[in-house]
Structure 1
Amino acid sequence: MSAASEGSTPGFLVWRLSMKWRVAVDRAVAPLGLTHAQYSLVASLYGMQRSGLRPSQRQLADHTGLEPLYVSKLARTLEAAGLVERLPDPSDTRAVQLSLSDQGRDVTRRAIDVVQQLLDRLLEPLGGLEGRRTEVFSRELALLLNTPLDTPQDVPIKEE
């Protein structure tokens, strides 16, 4: 642990790690014409399509954790770049379904390869992508991500 991290709260460390990751992914996918947020969208869309899904913008927002309005904005930008196709949802006239274009699939596959290499380097201290410590770390992160943070309104905030 670096001197700057000693004594830091877990929340601060999570924030710093997420910022380190965001910046690293931004730099890694920039040569492919993507930002980290765009990568998150196309990589998620790629995985969902491979599972046979053609998600709506709302479903993709729920999957990525991004705000629906932001997903809409990203989708329009990616559509203008020729990477994403936005089509009316046949079951809901208010919804839009997203899919990757041929060019989008090609760029996404290359971006996924780049990000996987980056992830392996990040996880090297834990034994790499296949390491036992990485498996435990991933389970712990999933547990934290699945824990709701909504606090009931009737619970008073503790003052110091």
Structure 2
Amino acid sequence: MKQADNTFSFENAEDSSGFLLWQVTNLWQREIKKALAPYDLTHSQYVLLASTHWLTLHNREVTQVLLSTHTKIDPMTTSTVLRTLQTKGLLKRQEHATDTRAKIILLTETGKQVARLAVVAVEDFDRKFFELLGNNSAAFNKTLLNLLSYKG
């Protein structure tokens, strides 16, 4: 029996891109959480730790602002998570050579080891999860990049 209420513009829930994205994101995040559990890292901690390692390997001077921009994690959250990673002994901050307001973010040896192991675990999971895309992964990534350009 058809309802007279037309609140929703979709006949079927699975026709809603937003709802599907929400479901896939929740599934993916739940599985990432499992992959990171052995390293005692939250997903945000992992993203900032791995990004620090990535940017360092690409000869970038890593600052909190650069990490926030690179990861698209807001600056306050970035600061809080970096503080936690520092408390865990995975990174350290030192004075910037030219900008007195900025701190350079450096991984400790333990931080490098944890980052390397966690990256392998996450990339292994991602490979398994996204293999369902088959030969469409490049197009999927391009679509995600297009969505990231949304300005609101």
Q: TM (normalized to structure 1)?
A: 0.83
SS across alignment from 2:102: strand
**CA offset at residue 23 of structure 1?**
1.8
Aligned to 2:3: none
**Mapped pair 1:106 → 2:113:** yes
**Mapped pair 1:25 → 2:28:** no
**Higher RCO structure (Cα 8 Å, ≥6 apart):** 2
Q: Which of residues 96, 100, 115 in structure 2 aligns to 1:93?
A: 100
Higher share of residues assigned helix: 2
Q: Which of residues 39, 45, 52 in structure 2 aligns to 1:45?
A: 52
Aligned to 1:140: 143
SS across alignment from 2:146: helix
Q: TM (normalized to structure 2)?
A: 0.87
In the alignment, structure 1 segments of 5+ residues that lack a partner are 150-160
Q: Which amino acid aligns with 2:40?
A: G
SS across alignment from 1:87: strand
User: What is the number of equivalent residue pairs in this alignment?
Assistant: 141
Question: C-alpha deviations, 1:60-87, integer Å up to 9, x for none?
Answer: 0111111111111111111111101111
Q: Which amino acid aligns with 1:146?
A: S
Coordinate RMSD, CA, aligned: 1.4
**CA offset at residue 6 of structure 1?**
4.7
Tell me which moved more, 84-93 or 38-47: 84-93
SS across alignment from 1:53: coil
2: CA distance, partners of 1:34 / 1:27:
10
Task: State which structure, 1 or 2, has the greater radius of gyration over its C-alpha atoms.
Answer: 2
